[in-house]
C-alpha cells in the first residue's frame, strides 16, 4: 500500500490499494460492493484502485484503476462492427459479450433479408456510437442507435482508454471533458466502454488532446488533475508555437 493522503477537515482518507489489502473494518458502509469483500470483521479490496474512507460518515469505496467494461442500460458506447448477419450486426463493445444491433433499429424500418444486403449500411470495421438498450445477463446486450448523436461514425479518430478511467476523463459534471474540448478546440464522444471518438480542427490539436488524455489515464488517482491538464495543454501550445509564451 502507498500514496496515503488524509484530508483532516473533511476526514477523508485516500490510498492506493491492491487485491487483498485491508481497507476498513466492518463498521463502515460499503458504497462500491463490487470492489470490496468481507472476511471476519474486516473489509478487503478486490481490485487495484483508489480507496476512499470517509471517517465522518463511516463509508468506504474504491475507484478501480484497471478493469473491463460491464454493460449497463442506457450507457453510450463506441462499438466496432465485427460481423454482419441477415438482420443484425455483431458489435465489439470491449465487454465480455458482443453487442447486437438490429437492422430494423439502425434503419428505422423492417428489413427483408432476401432483398437487402446489410453491408451496404454497416460493414466489418465500421464504428458506431450506440446506447445499451437492454441487457439482463441471459443474452448479449442489445444496442440502439436511435437518439441524438448516435449512429455510424463518418469521420474522426478513435482512441481507447481503460473503461475505469472514463469517469475521470469526463470529470464532475463534465468538467474535465469541458477543459479538453475548450482548450484544444476538439470535440469528443466518450463511450462508457473506454472508446473515444475525437474530431479536431488540425493535427496539432489532435496530438495535444491525445497526450492530455494519456496524462489523465496515468494520473487518474491524483487530486488537482483538472488544473494540471489545463496547464499541460497550454505548455504544449506554446511549445508548438500555436500561441506565444506568457
Q: Which percentage of the chain shows pLDDT scores above 70?
A: 94
Q: How far is the C-alpha of 245 from the C-alpha of 31, rounded, in Å?
A: 45
Q: Phi/psi at 214 (nearest 5 deg)?
A: -65, -35
**Tens of pLDDT along 27-60?**
999 988 778 989 899 999 988 888 989 898 899 9
pLDDT of residue 26: 87
For residues 13, 16, 20 and 26, what is the CA-based torsion angle, rounded to 10 degrees? 10
Q: Which residues pair with 197 in a beta bridge?
A: 158, 189
Query: Is the distance from CB of 68 to CB of 54 less than 8 angstroms?
Result: no
Query: Is the distance from CB of 233 to CB of 208 less than 8 angstroms?
Result: yes
| Helix, coil or strand: residue 59 | strand
pLDDT of residue 216: 96
Reported confidence tier of residue 99, pLDDT bands at 50, 70, 90: very high
Concatenated DSSP letters for 203-225? HHHHHHHHHHHHHHHHTTTSSSH
**Tens of pLDDT along 111-132?**
998 889 999 999 999 999 999 9
Q: Which domains does the chain have, with CATH numbers?
A: 2-64 (2.40.50.100), 76-152 (2.40.50.140), 157-239 (3.30.1370.10)
The answer, yes or no, to whether residue 104 has pLDDT greater than 90, is: yes
CA angle 37, 193, 185 (to 5 degrees): 130
Contacts of 131 (CB under 8 A, 6+ apart): 74, 75, 76, 77, 143, 144, 145, 147, 150
pTM: 0.75
> What is the mean predicted confidence (pLDDT) over 159-183?
94
- Among 1-5, 6-10, 207-211, top mean pLDDT goes to 207-211
pLDDT of residue 239: 92
| Helix, coil or strand: residue 177 | helix
Reported confidence tier of residue 10, pLDDT bands at 50, 70, 90: low
135 vs 157, higher pLDDT: 157
CA angle 190, 145, 126 (to 5 degrees): 70
Q: What is the DSSP letter of 33?
A: G
Amino acid at each position: 500500500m502507498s500514496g496515503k493522503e488524509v484530508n483532516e477537515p473533511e476526514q477523508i482518507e485516500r490510498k492506493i490499494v491492491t487485491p487483498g489489502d485491508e481497507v476498513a473494518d466492518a463498521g463502515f458502509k460499503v458504497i462500491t460492493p463490487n470492489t470490496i469483500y468481507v472476511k471476519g470483521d474486516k473489509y478487503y479490496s478486490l481490485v487495484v484502485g483508489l480507496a476512499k474512507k470517509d471517517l465522518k460518515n463511516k463509508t468506504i469505496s474504491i475507484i478501480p484503476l484497471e478493469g473491463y467494461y460491464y454493460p449497463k442500460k442506457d450507457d453510450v458506447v463506441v462499438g466496432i462492427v465485427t460481423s454482419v448477419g441477415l438482420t443484425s450486426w455483431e458489435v465489439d463493445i470491449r465487454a465480455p459479450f458482443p453487442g447486437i444491433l438490429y437492422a430494423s433499429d439502425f434503419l428505422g424500418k423492417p428489413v427483408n433479408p432476401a432483398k437487402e444486403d446489410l453491408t451496404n449500411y454497416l460493414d466489418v470495421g465500421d464504428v458506431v456510437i450506440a446506447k445499451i438498450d437492454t441487457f439482463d445477463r441471459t443474452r448479449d446486450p442489445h444496442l440502439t442507435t436511435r437518439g441524438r448523436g448516435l449512429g455510424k461514425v463518418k469521420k474522426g479518430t478513435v482512441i481507447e482508454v481503460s473503461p475505469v478511467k472514463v469517469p475521470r476523463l469526463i470529470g464532475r459534471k463534465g468538467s474535465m471533458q469541458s477543459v479538453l474540448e475548450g482548450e484544444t478546440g476538439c470535440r469528443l464522444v466518450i463511450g462508457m466502454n473506454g472508446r473515444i471518438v475525437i474530431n479536431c480542427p488540425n493535427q496539432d490539436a489532435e496530438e495535444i488532446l491525445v497526450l492530455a488524455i494519456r496524462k489523465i489515464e496515468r494520473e487518474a488517482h491524483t487530486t488537482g488533475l483538472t488544473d494540471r491538464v489545463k496547464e499541460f495543454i497550454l505548455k504544449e501550445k506554446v511549445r508548438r508555437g500555436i500561441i506565444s509564451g506568457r
